[in-house]
Amino acid sequence: MFISVKKQAAFLLLLAITLTSSAYAQKAPAFSLAGDQGRVSLSAYKNKVVYVDFWASWCKPCRKSFPFMNAMQERYGKNGFQIIGINLDTDKKDATNFLKKNPAKFKIAYDPDGKTPGLYKLKVMPTSYLIDRRGNLVNIHKGFKENEKNKIEALIQKTLKK
């Protein structure tokens, strides 16, 4: 009787640990969206560190984040780092106009129906999701402020080393 209780407790503990760790190592939801040249799919970037950023033309801090993302792509692209900027404008024209003024040196994907942000439980525009080489979500960064750039870059470096 006592043994069985202990066994059950041990089992539950094990289960809890398994569940927690699996929740911790959460897989980034897959997506496949229209891009400028063909489709942009997360699955195409296996073994790379991927930085998924949700943005829209009407979102001011999104614009502020573009120079930073361009710099990150240029600096770490050779180390297997890829930024995917998922645009959420309902009208693609707005995105195109925005990109003329703010050129992107990373992959752009278009999700005018807003399907992907739901999968990623997006709360704030912009939000970036850092995904490691195994496809696990390692960090979610809400908003964009100039004084947070160093923190994000350090996380990218750390994830690239893993």
Partner 1 sequence: MKNIKNKLSIATCTLLGGASQQAQSGEAVDNAWDLDSSLLYYSEADDRVSVTKAMAFLTGDISSEDSVNVNLVLDTMSGATPTGAVRSKTSGVSSFTGASGASSNIAGGASTDRVKFSDTRLGIALTWNHGWDRLSTISYGGSISVEKDYQSYGASINYSSDTDDRLRTYTMGLATTYDIIYRKTDGTPEPMSNVEDNNIFSDGERYSYDAIFGISQVLNRKTVAQLNYTISFSDGYHTDPYKVISLVQLVGDTDDGSYTFSELERFFESRPEDRLRHTLFTSMAHQYGDSGETVHLTYRFYTDDWGIQSHTFDMHHRTPLSESSYIEPHFRFYQQSAADFFMHSIRYESVNQELPRYASADYRLDDGTGLTLGLEYGAQLSGGRFRVRFDYINWQYEEAEYDETKAFVLQVSYQKLFD
Partner 2 sequence: MYKQLLLVASICTALSGCSFYNAADEAFTMQNVEPWQRDILARDDMQLDPDVMRTFADEHIYFSKEASTGGRGVGGGGCGCN
Interface positions with partner 2 (CB under 8 A): 54, 56, 58-59, 88-90, 94, 114, 117-118, 122-125
Cα distances from 96 to residues 28, 31, 35, 88, 126, in angstroms, run: 27, 21, 12, 12, 18
147 touches, from partner 2, partner 1, none (C-beta below 5 to 8 Å by class): partner 1
The answer to the question of residue 61 lying near partner 1 (CB under 8 A) is yes
- 123: which residues sit within 8 A by CB, 6+ positions away? 142
With CB under 5 to 8 Å by kind, the binding choice for 143 among partner 2, partner 1, none is partner 1
Q: Tokens standing for 104?
A: 């992107």
Residue 112 contact among partner 1, partner 2, none, beta carbon within 5 to 8 Å by kind: none
| Separation CA 109–CA 56 (nearest Å) | 11
Give me the least distance between CB of 69 and partner 1, in Å please: 15
| Residue 150 engages partner 1 in binding (rule: CB under 8 A) | no
Binding of residue 77 to partner 1 (CB under 8 A)? no
Report the distance separating Cα 51 and Cα 73, nearest Å: 10
For position 142 contacting partner 1 by CB under 8 A, the verdict is yes
Is the CB of 83 or the CB of 122 nearer to partner 1? Answer: 122
Among partner 2, partner 1, none, partner that 114 touches (CB below 5 to 8 angstroms by kind): partner 2
Based on the shown chain and the rule CB under 8 A, indicate whether residue 112 belongs to the binding site for partner 1: no
From the list partner 1, partner 2, none, which binds 146 (C-beta under 5 to 8 Å, kind-based)? partner 1
**8 Å CB contact between 81 and 69:** no
If DSSP codes are grouped into helix, strand and coil, which group holds residue 96? helix
Kindly give the interhelix angle for 149-161 and 60-76, rounded to the nearest 10 degrees. 40
